[in-house]
């Protein structure tokens, strides 16, 4: 059966907090037509548990369970476990709420039983009532390493324990070369019935690059033959939250939408920038759409999702005309 392009699947590449906000809006508009491919290179072992910060942020956000004030973790959280582990001299630098802990314990148990990250994420998503399909980019171990002038740091040491303070000289994704793209990701990118691909406004260096490092993914994105649209994580030249701006400065990349466009290069067909950055957008070599991109509530997430989808559809129509 032929599916009109505008009713097809949408694949979104996504990191943690910034990406999950747009994924929430996309899920409201698309429901089960949305496939979210998620970074897992900031996963780590802590207190004997397998922790997946970006996957869990997406699970909690799309399940409507996230804490909106704190910006991470679950709402209605309590901290008895943290208090108790501190009391007995355990490590307290990475906060684990009591409810959150259940997810890490269960995931660790199932991984030890030989199940894949994909299977586990899909089951939990179903239990949370999530309609979108969630895919860790790979089920193989990939780990982000941040190279600073003094040492090489495991990602969560850099991000949480050292609060992103050390200067970044380089970023590496250990294990990426031999990682296998998850089958679900490959299937979601089959061109039949695919509408577009969206790169969420996640940190390009720490959240999207490790996804793109999975062997075969860039090729599969290109082969899909649909518009690829990125959303800039910069709003009026600043990162909304987190170290994106700081890392760009340290890597001597100007904090502009032009740099975001250049970072993705010919992988993308269009870039959505904030209305506060339009002055810059005029000079970009990629198609640009300006929209309010600051997502502060459900409405602004849904509004941005609609804007991005309309832009991608317009790009597809233009491409069709050109090939006629």
Binding site for ligand GDP (CB under 6 A): 15-19, 21, 54, 57, 201-203, 207, 231, 233, 235, 239-242, 244, 293-295
Contacts 24+ apart (CB under 8 A), 259-263: 260/204, 260/230, 260/232, 260/233, 260/234, 261/230, 261/285, 261/286, 263/204
Q: How far apart are CA 310 and CA 226, in angstroms?
A: 14
Instruction: State which residue, 162 or 319, has the beta carbon closest to ligand GDP.
Output: 162
Q: Between 112 and 279, whose beta carbon lies closer to ligand GDP?
A: 279
| Nearest of 179, 155, 187 to residue 168 by alpha carbon | 155
**Which residue, 115 or 303, has its beta carbon nearer to ligand GDP?**
303
Min dist CB 31 to ligand GDP, Å, is: 22
CB-closest chain residue to ligand GDP: 18
Instruction: Strand 287-291: give its sheet, edge to edge.
Output: 133-136, 34-38, 9-14, 194-199, 228-231, 270-274, 287-291
| Residue 318 CB, nearest approach to ligand GDP (Å) | 24
Closer by beta carbon to ligand GDP, 70 or else 317? 70
Alpha-carbon distances, residue 91 vs 44, 70, 103, 223, 254 (angstroms): 14, 21, 19, 46, 37
Least separation, in Å, of the C-beta of 46 and ligand GDP?
A: 16
- Our separate counts of H helices and E strands in the chain read 13, 14
Shortest distance in whole angstroms from residue 92 CB to ligand GDP: 21
Q: Is beta strand 287-291 parallel, antiparallel or unpaired with respect to 270-274? A: parallel
C-alpha 72/C-alpha 74 separation (Å) is: 7
Q: How far apart are the first and last CA of the chain?
A: 23
Q: 154: phi > 0 → left, psi -120 to 50 → alpha, else beta; which?
A: beta
Nearer CB in complex with ligand GDP: 15/73: 15
Cβ nearer to ligand GDP, comparing 120 with 206: 206
229 in Cβ contact with 13 (< 8 Å): no
Cβ 209 to ligand GDP shortest distance, Å: 10
Q: Name the minimum Å distance from CB 296 to ligand GDP.
A: 7
Q: CB 68 → ligand GDP: shortest distance, Å?
A: 12
219 vs 297 by CB, closer to ligand GDP: 297
Asked if 134 and 38 count as a contact pair (C-beta separation under 8 A), the reply is yes
């Amino acid at each position: 059966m032929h599916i009109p392009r505008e009713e097809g699947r949408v694949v979104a590449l996504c990191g943690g907090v910034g990406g999950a906000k747009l994924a929430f809006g996309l899920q409201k508009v698309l429901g089960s037509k949305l496939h979210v491919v998620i970074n897992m290179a900031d996963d780590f072992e802590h207190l004997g548990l397998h922790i997946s910060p970006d996957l869990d942020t997406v699970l909690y956000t799309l399940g409507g369970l996230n804490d909106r004030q704190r910006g991470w973790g679950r709402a209605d959280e309590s901290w008895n476990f943290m208090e108790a582990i501190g009391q007995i001299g355990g490590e307290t630098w990475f906060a684990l709420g009591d409810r959150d802990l259940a997810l890490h314990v269960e995931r660790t148990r199932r991984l030890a039983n030989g199940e894949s990250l994909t299977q586990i994420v899909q089951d939990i998503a179903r239990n949370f009532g999530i309609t979108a399909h969630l895919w860790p980019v790979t089920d193989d171990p990939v780990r982000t390493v941040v190279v600073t002038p003094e040492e090489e740091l495991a990602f969560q040491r850099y991000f949480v324990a050292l609060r992103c303070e050390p200067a970044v000289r380089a970023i590496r994704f250990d294990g990426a070369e031999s990682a296998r793209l998850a089958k679900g990701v490959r299937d979601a990118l089959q061109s039949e019935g695919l509408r577009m691909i969206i790169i969420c406004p996640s940190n390009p260096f720490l959240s999207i690059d490790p996804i793109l490092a999975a062997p075969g993914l860039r090729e599969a994105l290109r082969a899909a033959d649909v518009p690829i649209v990125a959303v800039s994580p910069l709003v009026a030249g600043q990162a909304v939250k987190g170290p994106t701006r700081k890392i760009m400065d340290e890597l001597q990349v100007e904090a502009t939408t032009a740099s975001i466009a250049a970072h993705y290069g010919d992988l993308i067909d269009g870039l959505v920038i904030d209305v506060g950055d339009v002055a810059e957008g005029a000079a970009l070599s990629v198609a640009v759409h300006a929209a309010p991109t600051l997502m502060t509530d459900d409405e602004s997430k849904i509004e941005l999702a609609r804007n991005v989808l309309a832009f991608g559809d317009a790009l597809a129509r233009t491409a069709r005309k050109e090939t006629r």
